[in-house]
Chain A
Amino acid sequence: MSYQLPKFRHPELPVNDLGYTKAEYEGAISTLCAGCGHDSISGAIVRACHELSIEPHKIAKLSGIGCSSKTPTYFLGNSHGFNSVHGRMPSVVTGAALANRDLLYMGISGDGDTASIGMGQFAHVARRNLNMVYIIMNNGCYGLTKGQDSATADRGSASKKGDPNIYSSIDLCGTALQMGATFIGRSFSGDKEQLVPLIKAAMSHRGFALIDVISPCVTFNNNLASTKSYEFVREHSEATGTIDFVPMHKEITTEYEPGSSHEVTLHDGSSIHLYKVDDSFDPFNRGSAMGALEEHRNAGNILTGLIYMNKDSRDLHEVIETSQRPLNELEEVDLCPGNKMLVNINASLR
């Protein structure tokens, strides 16, 4: 593990539409274990934000507590970050998003932070369809407290400690689907080609976008008997298809065979091209998505890729009809009705 981030950058690093190199999207050096899946996800976030040409300070990154929740320090150094309390990141993001609808909210959580202590807030933020990206770095164990099983560990899976898990696991994609999330994807930290376009699509989706990323814990849960090891996930993941994310105003270029593709336009004008592996699966249908999740789970496989998307999503701000102007920009003149109204109120109370 390095302890210093090299300052040297190649002088001809590619710049994006804003003139920024990828370096402008990086953060402090990671203090996670060498080979941790989470670092690959941080890298995918950096790449996605850079390629999408999002101004780094227009993103807010928030997290709970745990290894995963430490990662916002390691990407988007020019963005404000908030490492809140265990399992409560969703409520803090909800408040933040209510205050300023113009920023992009990236929530980072782990399987302990989401599926155990934070299950309630996770369910309700999905239900409210808050406009945010919610990335779960899912390794099936508690790293910081030395490897206890988490609620996403599969029954029978054993971590380094050796005892097989005796409880059934929580499928966070299925849970989110049930709770009303409007964008659900699953990926693998070792598969950037799949993960980066998924993150881009999630950032362009208006509503609650969940990406459950299986991210092996190299220290405590990367052994033979674990179903969250690099080897197991590589062997057992089955993609719904491949997707291309096409930002607004970009020419559509694709290396996939035309014919089997679906194009979906997102709220901001960009689009997703989806190339499905199985024609019977319809990711725009909740029932179909639920069925596919269940089917693969029963077969012992991990379904990855875009699992569900609601094209007509209305986010929390739409539902509660808040002003288009961010609430944190309102001033006395917009907020305070003045003494005259109090005179009338007083009169009605006599």
Chain B
Amino acid sequence: MKSIKSVNDFVIKFANVNGTGSASANSLFAKAIFRMGVPVSPKNIFPSNIQGLPTWYEVRVSDKGYLGRRGGVDIALSVNPQSMADDIREVEPGGYFIYDNTKPLDLRNHRNDITIIGLPLTRICNKEYDDPRQRQLFKNVIYVGALAALLDIDFKVLTGLVEDQFKGKKNLVLPNIHALELGHQYARANVECPIGIRVEHSDMVGDKILLDGNEALGLGALYGGATVAAWYPITPSTSVVDAFEKYAKRVRIDPGTGRRNYAIVQGEDELAAIGMAIGASWNGSRAFTATSGPGVSLMSEFLGLAYFAEIPTVLFNVQRAGPSTGMPTRTQQSDVLACAYASHGDTKQVLLFPSTPKECFDFGAQAFDLAERLQTPIILMSDLDLGMNDNMSEPLSWDDDRKYDRGKVMTEEELEAGTEFGRYLDVDGDAICYRTYPGTHPTRGSFFTRGTSRNEYAVYSENGEDYEANMLRLLRKWDTINEHVPAPVIVDCGRETDTAVLYFGTSEESSREALDYLAEDGIFMNAMRVRAFPFNSEVQQFIESHAQVFVIEQNRDAQLRTLLMAEFEFGPDILKSVLCFDGTPISARNIRKQIKKHLNGDNVLPLHRKASLSGVEEIL
């Protein structure tokens, strides 16, 4: 058997039981490698459950800086008998399977083409600890210690992390370090260390940080000046408001009075959550709500109101696998169409597509400027993969001279001076009209906000001409919006080519990696990352300058492709689909495979049969 040998380039997958405290030990592992200067990309694959079901933590380690899912597992570490048969089957030939051998491995699961390493984790714990909870928690820390020996991870980095994590809590530092040592020593004494896969100090991380997108969004809202957050709990967006609250408690308490310069209300449902955000924005506060697919469905009526009545609204949508309840703890990019045309009647909503925590922060803050400048809902489209996993990212930064763009708001002085005010009167041709905050002037500038049609002075009107003029102005406003939203990012491959890929959000990393693989095979393609809807003219030009563009996205129905076809009238001859919608982040290998299948014109797979390990024949 030929074992996999590599330095700073592998995929390890931890198989745990949900609710056993594995998450913090696993992230300790990932962060230790990150601190050694090696790029990591950890991903939680967790069930919709509090305790008991299988959960996985997959860490991609890549000196080249590939952060997407690669596909395949080089090392599996299993402490969950429930999923052990599947976990061992998933290991690449030549890979490693590390498990708790307190209970011997079921012979039916044995494989000859991988290295199997047993660690008696339960036995060590039972001997060391009396308290059942400690036995459970430290088991995780012990295997991290053992992995340090097996993979040659710098032990000092691990102990340093523990000290940082429990700063000032000595009674927590020492027991954790002791547990790390227990595992480390056992592995050193009983297994040949290191195995073929190793970690070495490197300098590929630079000043980057490890942060999840939801925390970055919460910070973006804080820096963007949000004062009102209204929300309803839903996975995977809940931690956005949690993060906003955590930092607001630190920096938004009035020093004189001890009172809060923010308000957070947990609504009775998503309808109320967005209603509150709209009410607060109407009244001149920066407000937001955060939700996921089912919440978007519920918020659609209000999104139509905010579009039609032109009320700034910020909505963070952390997408998950739909439809309906779908797979609530798995990722997808499947709300594109539901959000782009949210609500009944003719509507178009502005979407932002961040792909890193840094962009979550930047777009999160910018969303408030855009909402107030453009007087319309801004829907930021994150997803579970970006929102809930630690992603390696450029550090966050803020220009201290930056001023908020509060948009067109007529002041008391302007009203007093007799400036003409019509809430829906386009005075300067950009199709965006002045608004007033309630309470501005005793006799001028008041108006009635409504979801019914009205004339330029906000007076109720069922006159078809008034209605049509207003709808056409909203369409002209779409052109103004186009000039304000983030432009796409284009990556030129530097070769003559008439094929390209187009992607957005979390498909970026895997797409970039897949392009490198394809280049190795002699297939060169340009790339464009779309960052907003409306698509600006660069998107159109890019597509027009290629014969074929592969639209890579994480949903079943090729929703971004549909949107491109609807907005630009491109046909299926130009736009091809590369899709992944199984709830896991799209992998580089998957993208490469699908693109090659298209390019070879080989879109019919021959049927061939293969005996599977379970003895049941599978048709591939």
Contacts and interface: CB of A to CB of B under 8 A. Distances in A.
Interface of A: 24, 55-58, 60, 62, 72-73, 77-85, 88, 90-100, 102-103, 120-121, 123-124, 128, 316, 320-325, 327-328, 330, 332, 334-339, 341-342, 345-346, 349-350
B251 A341 contact: yes
B283 A99 contact: yes
Interface in B230-289: 230, 247, 251-252, 254, 257-265, 267-269, 271-285, 287
A328 B398 contact: no
Interface centre among A92, A95, A99, A345 (most CB of B within 10 A): A95
Contact of B210 (A55, A82, A332, A350): A350
Interface residues of B, number: 74
Interface stretch (B56-64, B71-79, B89-97, B444-452): B444-452
A95 B280 contact: yes
B275 A79 contact: no
B328 to A, nearest CB: 22
Contact of B227 (A82, A94, A330): A330
A56 B445 CA distance: 12
Contacts of A337: 222-223, 247, 251
Contacts of B443: 24, 57, 78
Interface centre among A82, A128, A316, A321 (most CB of B within 10 A): A82
19 contacts: A60-B439, A84-B451, A91-B230, A92-B276, A95-B279, A97-B279, A99-B280, A100-B284, A103-B283, A121-B268, A121-B275, A128-B265, A323-B261, A327-B227, A327-B228, A336-B225, A341-B251, A342-B398, A350-B207
Given A92-B276, A92-B282, 7 more contacts: A73-B448, A80-B436, A83-B448, A96-B282, A98-B285, A124-B267, A322-B263
Nearest to A130: B265
A328 B284 contact: yes
Contacts, number: 227
Nearest to A81: B448
A95 B449 contact: no
A350 B448 contact: no
B452 A80 contact: no
B268 A335 contact: no
A345 B302 CA distance: 35
Interface string B287-308: 1000000000000011001000
B279 A349 contact: no
Contact of B259 (A77, A82, A85, A324): A324
Given A95-B287, A327-B227, A336-B223, A322 B259 contact: yes
B326 interface: no
A339 B399 contact: yes
A181 to B, nearest CB: 15
Contacts of B223: 336-337
B309 to A, nearest CB: 8
A145 to B, nearest CB: 16
Which 4 A-B residue pairings sit nearest by Cβ, starting from the closest?
A: A95-B279, A91-B275, A99-B285, A80-B438
Nearest to A76: B446
Nearest to A317: B263
A95 B277 contact: yes
A98 B285 CA distance: 9
B272 A88 contact: yes
A209 B417 CA distance: 38
B10 to A, nearest CB: 22
A36 B227 CA distance: 41
B51 to A, nearest CB: 29
B340 interface: no
A345 B254 CA distance: 21
Contacts of B287: 95, 98-99
A117 to B, nearest CB: 10
Contacts of B400: 338-339
A346 B209 contact: yes
A92 B301 CA distance: 13
A93 B276 CA distance: 7
Interface of B: 34-35, 207-211, 219, 222-223, 225, 227-228, 230, 247, 251-252, 254, 257-265, 267-269, 271-285, 287, 301-302, 305, 395-400, 402-404, 436-443, 446-452, 460
Given A78-B446, A335-B227, A327 B262 contact: yes
Nearest to A70: B460
Contacts of B257: 323-324
B272 A342 contact: no
Contacts of A92: 275-276, 278-279, 282
A42 to B, nearest CB: 14
B163 to A, nearest CB: 14
A95 B398 contact: no
B261 A91 contact: no
Given A85-B302, A88-B275, A339-B399, A77 B446 contact: yes
A37 B260 CA distance: 43
A124 B442 contact: no
Given A99-B228, A342-B396, A350-B210, A94 B261 contact: no
B117 to A, nearest CB: 31
B209 A349 contact: yes
A73 B274 CA distance: 24
B251 A99 contact: no
A262 B265 CA distance: 37
Contacts of A103: 283, 438-439
Contact of A85 (B225, B277, B301): B301
A343 B329 CA distance: 32
A327 B285 contact: yes
B280 A349 contact: no
B448 A72 contact: yes
A94 B265 contact: yes
B285 A100 contact: yes
Contact of B403 (A82, A96, A330, A332): A332
Nearest to A102: B439
B283 A323 contact: no
Contact of A83 (B251, B403, B450): B450
A55 B302 CA distance: 30
A58 B283 contact: no
A88 B225 contact: no
A320 B248 CA distance: 13
Interface centre among B252, B257, B274, B283 (most CB of A within 10 A): B283
A100 B225 CA distance: 15
B398 A339 contact: yes
Nearest to A86: B301
A345 B250 CA distance: 12
A103 B402 CA distance: 30
Contacts of B441: 57
Contact of A95 (B247, B276, B436): B276
Contacts of A72: 448
Contacts of A62: 279
Contacts of B450: 81-83
Given A92-B278, A95-B230, A322-B260, A346 B285 contact: no
A341 B398 CA distance: 10
A259 B262 CA distance: 47
Nearest to A101: B263
B563 to A, nearest CB: 26
A121 B271 contact: yes
A337 to B, nearest CB: 4
Contacts of A60: 283, 438-439
Contacts of B254: 323, 325
A320 B229 CA distance: 13
Contact of A336 (B259, B263, B283, B398): B398
A73 to B, nearest CB: 6
Contacts of A124: 267-268, 272
A320 B403 contact: no
Contacts of B264: 320
A120 B273 CA distance: 13
Contact of A320 (B222, B247, B260, B282): B260
B48 to A, nearest CB: 25
